[in-house]
Amino acid sequence: MKRTHASTLVAFGFVGLAVGYLVELALVSAGAQAVVPPLSLAITLVGVGALVLAFAWPIRQAVRGTATRRIDPFRAARTAVLAKASSITGALVLGAGVGITAFLLTRSVLPAASTVWTAVATAAGAALLLAAGLVAEHFCTIPPDEPDEEGAARA
């Protein structure tokens, strides 16, 4: 599995931004209230990011050779996939949070400050999830093999 590219994260971020902004615009245009994610979403995103890092830490120790016990390769693979999914999800929700914040700040009548701050908190929590996913991916990366002396002599 290859590590997540920055272009993938940027693309998901822009998709989230467009969807977040346009959904809010459609809701308000239809006469409904704007939907702002609750503060518990931001707290949950930070918690998930911490869990992803906690799952990846033993794998980092095993890769470095300082682990006290052997790590199951399937566990390491599942953790790497979880880390990649977390980084992509973080990028998507970060874009949505920025889109909602942009929508709220571009209205002629600004909503309550707490509403804007919860949208900003969602974006910040998603940014932390994105960063935790990228760090966990790094923890799950196996260093490249060093060339053997026999292989170098044959070449």
- pLDDT tens digit sequence for 30-45: 988 888 899 999 999 9
Confirm whether 97 is domain-assigned: yes
Query: pLDDT per residue over 44-99, tens digit each?
Result: 999 999 999 999 999 888 888 776 778 888 988 999 999 999 999 999 999 999 99
The pTM of the full predicted model, rounded to 2 decimals, is: 0.86
What is the domain extent for residue 30? 6-142
Q: What are phi and psi of 37, to 5 degrees?
A: -60, 145
Confirm whether 43 is domain-assigned: yes
* 3-state class (DSSP) for residue 140: coil
Asked whether 112 and 33 are in contact (CB, 8 A), the reply is: no
Structural domains in the chain (count): 1
Confirm whether 1 is domain-assigned: no
Confirm whether 11 is domain-assigned: yes
> Is the pLDDT score of 152 beyond 80?
no
Confirm whether 136 is domain-assigned: yes
Confirm whether 155 is domain-assigned: no
The candidate with the shortest Cα–Cα distance to 72, out of 83, 53, 59, is 59
Confirm whether 92 is domain-assigned: yes
Confirm whether 152 is domain-assigned: no
